[in-house]
Amino acid sequence: MIILVTGGAGFIGSAVIRHIIRNTYDSVVNVDKLTYAGNLDSLAEVCESPRYAFEHVDICNRTELDRVLTQHQPTAVMHLAAESHVDRSIDGPASFIQTNVVGTYTLLEATRAHWQGLSQERKASFRFHHVSTDEVFGDLPKNTDLFTETSSYAPSNPYSASKAAADHLVRAWQRTYNLPTLVTNCSNNYGPYHFPEKLIPLIIMNALEGKPLPVYGAGQQVRDWLYVEDHARALYMVITEGKVGETYNIGGHNEKHNIEVVRSLCALLDELRPSADGISYAAQITHVQDRPGHDLRYAIDASKIQRELGWLPQESFETGIRKTVEWYLNNPSWSQRVQDGSYQRRRLGLSSGESA
């Protein structure tokens, strides 16, 4: 296969690309605009592979998408490119509408034109896989409820609303134009190469730097945590074995209160990198005002993908979070390049449409 991955320099996208290059014979075309969250350092181990190509392209640019599709002739598209930070969506929703809604529409149309020009055999095997989030379902009202593939959409913030809109577009293109699409909705991801504005890397870095560890409200929000490499395996399984027109929920079977996650991180850091003064990192926990529209609980029922495709997460929260902390402790240069902005120098050296 030749898989075109949008947003491949992001956290989940880079994990997918590393998985494909490490574990398959397939080729990857990474299409990424390289916003602040796009980091080519996360692809250092695969960037020299003859099966990897990079295109510095915005998914809202139809002309460039047409060029990339014509040049590389992918047999599948895996769409991960998205603005994804809820706090940023509250402060500035316009970029979320542009990338997540307009960008998805533009990519769908470019892909449809490419797909229609294929031979009947290649058309039959082509796939468009849209990667979404459990946040489109909104808040779970009861502690016993789980999100299923048929749960109603009730997004609570501009980010989740824009992703919900994208999901609807993808399904409409399948129903109206017969574009062979699949959709996945995943729970919260964590693991190596995570941009430090997100909870787990933020807590690790702040702890090591002696800064406050911010927790929204009382920290009672519940999330289902999924190790990113487990997610990458699931995504590849869906695009290669999933049924066209289907939706698959992907979850880690690891529901945790946010305050539990923070305390787990502090305990691991106390063990692996104790502070010089001997005081637990938990002393740095600081409760801050909750954000507007903050959903209390997400939880995924991932039984369908287990039943139909045989996928299960390999990491428990305990094993995955230890691997994550150890990775950040062992790779300070990656974190440092993000914090001082030097990771962006490579981005600034590329113009739109330039390959690397």
Phi, psi values for residue 301, rounded to 5°: -95, 105
Token match 């529409």: residue? 105
Residue 20 Cα to chain centre, angstroms: 16
Which residues are identified as catalytic? 134-135, 159
Question: Distance (Å, rounded) from C-alpha 194 to C-alpha 186?
Answer: 16
Residues written for the chain: 356
In angstroms, the Cα distances linking 325 to 193, 210, 214, 270 are 11, 16, 18, 11
Question: Distance (Å, rounded) from C-alpha 185 to C-alpha 303?
Answer: 13
Q: Diameter of the chain by CA atoms? A: 68
- The H or E element that residue 184 is part of is strand 181-186
Q: Which of 74, 75, 239, 345 is nearest to 356 (CA)?
A: 345
* Assigned token pair, 154: 């009730």
CA angle 90, 91, 94 (to 5 degrees): 85
Question: Distance (Å, rounded) from C-alpha 251 to C-alpha 240?
Answer: 19
CA angle 141, 12, 33 (to 5 degrees): 115
Range 297-331 burial, b when 16+ CB lie within 10 A, else e = bbbbbbebbbeebebebebebeebbbebbebbeee
Question: Distance (Å, rounded) from C-alpha 22 to C-alpha 45?
Answer: 9
